[in-house]
Structure 1
Amino acid sequence: MTIALDAETVQNEVSADTAAAKTAQATIDAAELTSKATALRELIRANANQTEADRKVTQPVIDALDEAGLFKLAQPRRLGGYELPIRDFVEITSIIAQGDASAGWVATLTNVCAWIVGTFPDQAQRDVWGDDENARVCGVVAPTSTTEWAEGGLRVTGKWGFASGSLHAQWAVLGIPVIDENGAQIDQGLALIPLSDLSIEDTWYVAGMRGSGSNTLVADDVFVPAHRILSVSRGINGDYPTEHTEEALYRSAMVPVLALVLAGPLVGAAQAALDLVLGSLAKGKGISYTFYERASDSGSTQINIAEAAILVDSAYLHLYRAADAIDAAAAEGVYPSRLERARSRMDTGYIARLTRQAVDLLLSVQGAGSFAEVSPLQRIWRDLNTGSRHAVINPSISAEAFGRELLGLSEQVTPLV
């Protein structure tokens, strides 16, 4: 007996098969990329001091990450990337940060800016990767610029601070006010601009995350065509102009993605601190001015190590729960409610608190020697305390935003939910 299938049914089955094949391939790629990131940890760690001294990730590390494909986690598969779910994204960048938080931060910001480009129209995506699938993107969402209306687009002038990874990028997504032909602001946007149209001011002199090279980008009357301008207000509500609506990754909720990925390097840094202290204790480190020849025999050490370890574990649990929620909603084609999105911000802020508490405990276990310049712990401490103060992470604002949603209050304290 022959069963005739209508065209819509056939197309749906083909689409389902294609989606399943892409999911299977992404799983294979994620496992391979995770292994590559793990294998590179020692190289990254060995270059960490030089990265800090240079105030940018060393070229050997950039080359190794590039060769391993670790700048392509969120780049569309059809344009040479891996298009991994957010869960795999944060796991891999946390592993990179175990070697060096600055390297993990640069990898994170480069990859999430690639995700942003994946929500732009196809023409904009091909502007970036059509001729060079290895092109890297940096970005700053804050609209610290002015714009003038021009036929077919906008002319942009401004300065954007804290552009992490800009020293290794070829493109940037930068916050701008969107205006109409009368000069009235009608929206906030992100302009996609080649680095060749920008200059970089050397402004990144900081206590921590020194190697992120988060300098200031400058535009002087740069024309940006309309297809390379993304509406932030529409993006916050899940309305993206990409024509490739079958790609689940680029249906992910904007603010939860932009916030949560920043937690990956924080968790990786805290894990690195835990591993360092456990390694020191295993070598028989003592406690000065006590009868403990081995600190590991002390009940206080045992309690503090246990507490630090469970804090790091808790940070991972929040990280992965939030990432899984983002991925599940995107796969189902359902945009999360404002309450669910606010919870992702809460998770991010809470991870910052958990990781800072864990590292503070570990510093107490290790003692004053932690602050010697030769100790990696003091660099991790500075990096973590700097990175976790990013404005989008802010634990108090994140808690306030989540609390307002829990209480059903209509007004929010931030548009970034």
Structure 2
Amino acid sequence: MTRKALEQVEALSEQIAATAPDSEALGRLSDESVALIRQAGVMRMLQPAEFGGAAAHPRDFAETVMVVASNCGSAGWVCGVGGVHPWEMALMDPRLQQEVWGENPETWIASPYAPQGIATPVDGGYRLRGRWNFSSGTDHCDWIFLGAVLGDADGAPADPRGTLHVVLPRRDYVVVEDTWDVIGLCGTGSKDIIVEDAFVPDYRTVDAAAMADGGRAAQVGRDETVYRLPFWSMFPLGITAAVIGIAEGALAVHLAYQRERTPMTGTRIIDDPYTMSAISEAAAEIAASRAQLLDGISRLYDLADVGTPITFADRAVTRRNQIRSAWRAVGAVDAIFARSGGNAVRRDNPIQRFWRDAHTGLQHAIHTPGLTYHATALTTMGIEPRPAQRIMI
């Protein structure tokens, strides 16, 4: 059952690919693209069963995102980011879940989680204000997760280390038009969000730290395995799956193009051992990236499934490998793009869009290697990383 969406996406691949130019031109997913994603059920894979979701294995979710992204990078990105939000919503207060999905279980939820707002405690909740960047797919969403730091009585940041995830309905925030003018992932419509002064009741908030280690499920009475996984293992999964899917799309376009290509040297590409070797090496790197990403989340799932605690070391290794898989896949895209000839830069050649999308996806904060690599190396040496080195793990 949980692989139904994957099968649907595979069946709709050509139609999804056909929407990519329109989404790029619009600066958001086209209505047809959104309809296809809804038809396949991608956004409901990690939604709880009581609201019609699949509570799927995260491996199946990642593979589905990869297929979408291999046809349209922007659509895959929105699925990878937005598709994780139902997972976190399943760990929120049941009153909030009912508000979001009670009347329409197809409702999409946006983000971002970066703590770019200030939440000041008041009776019954918080007053929220701020401006956030990069709200992917936000035009198609009716609710949003936002990150915020705690504020003092004057509304100034009180403790940058104390952060919340807060949830707002569309009426309480503004999507700022014309704030997504970019060179890649253009169709994601990752626009800015402004909140002037919104009241957020307590039950629509959660301490970000409570999500980090997978312990939230026990607190809210969830026993499904997928909800016992750590936030910083699940959220990066969808994003990196999109990047790897984009790399797979670039490879497929490249292979189709090189099959019949004869450059000015007069030697057919299929008879050029140097180029063919480079293609095989790039394909192997992309395949390794896929395998490493899926292996990491599957290992964590297996631990959670049998009730074995997921340690910081487990999380760190998974994050390290997830980051490396993204960089490896994009490096492979560079290798094949460099061998695609001058026609690769033409706007009507989809490989240039995959190349731009891949590099833009790599720019996401969760793909920054420094701190995570450092913390993982320390952990494998038996040295406890400092708090600042444990960010996003």
Shorter-chain TM-score tier: over 0.9
What whole-Å deviation, never above 9, does each CA across 1:315-368 have from its counterpart, x for those lacking one? 111111112022212322333111110111111211121111111111122212
RMSD: 1.7
The answer to whether 1:258 aligns with 2:232 is: no
For 1:141, the equivalent position in structure 2 comes to 113
Structure 1 residue 230 displacement after superposition: 0.8
Extract unaligned runs of 5+ from structure 1: 1-27
Equivalent-residue separation in structure 2 for 1:335 and 1:60 (angstroms): 43
SS in structure 2 of the partner of residue 47 of structure 1: helix
Displacement over 6 Å in runs of 4+ = 180-183
Say if 2:158 is the partner of 1:213: no
User: Is residue 224 of structure 1 aligned with residue 200 of structure 2?
Assistant: yes
Tell me the secondary structure at the aligned position of residue 360 of structure 2: helix
Matches within 5 A, 1:251-400: 251-282=228-259, 284-288=260-264, 290-292=265-267, 294-400=268-374
TM-score w.r.t. the length of structure 2 is: 0.94
Aligned residue for 1:98?
70
CA deviations on 1:237-272 (whole Å, 9 max, x unpaired) are 333166332122111111111122211111111111
* Counterpart amino acid of residue 29 in structure 1: T
The one-letter code sitting in structure 2 at the alignment partner of 1:249 is V
Q: By how many angstroms is 1:146 displaced? A: 1.5
| Residue ranges of structure 2 left out of the alignment (5+ in a row) | none
- The CA deviation at 1:410 is 2.0
Q: Distance in 1 between matches of 2:42 and 2:255?
A: 28
Note if contact 2:47-2:87 (Cα within 8 Å) is conserved in structure 1. yes
- Contact conserved, 1:86 with 1:326, CA < 8 A, in 2? no
Instruction: Give the AA of the match of 2:20.
Output: A
State how far apart, in whole Å, the 1-side matches of 2:198 and 2:309 are: 34
Letter in 2 for 1:332: V
Q: Counterpart in 2 of 1:407? A: 381
Q: Structure 1 residue 29 and structure 2 residue 6: aligned?
A: no
**Partner residue of 1:236 out of 181, 187, 212:** 212
Counterpart AA for 1:176: A
Report which of the two structures shows the higher radius of gyration computed on alpha carbons.
1
> Percent identity over the alignment?
27
Is the 1:262–1:393 contact (alpha carbons within 8 Å) kept by the matching residues of 2? Answer: no
DSSP 3-state at the match of 2:118 = strand
Cα drift, residue 182 of structure 1: 9.6
TM-score normalised over the length of structure 1: 0.89
Q: Is the 8 A contact 1:163 1:216 kept in 2?
A: yes
Aligned pairs, how many? 386
1:191 is the counterpart of 2:166: yes
3-state DSSP of counterpart to 2:246: helix
Aligned counterparts of 1:130 and 1:398: Cα–Cα separation in 2: 39
CA contact (8 A) 2:174 2:193 kept: yes
Measure how far apart 1:152 and its partner are: 0.9
CA contact (8 A) 1:40 1:96 kept: no
- In the TM superposition, residue 408 of structure 1 has moved relative to its aligned partner by 2.6
Are positions 1:245 and 2:222 aligned together?
A: yes
State the one-letter code of the partner of 1:118: A
Render the CA deviation track for 1:199-247: whole Å, top value 9, x for unaligned. Answer: 0112111111111111011111111111111111122133316633212
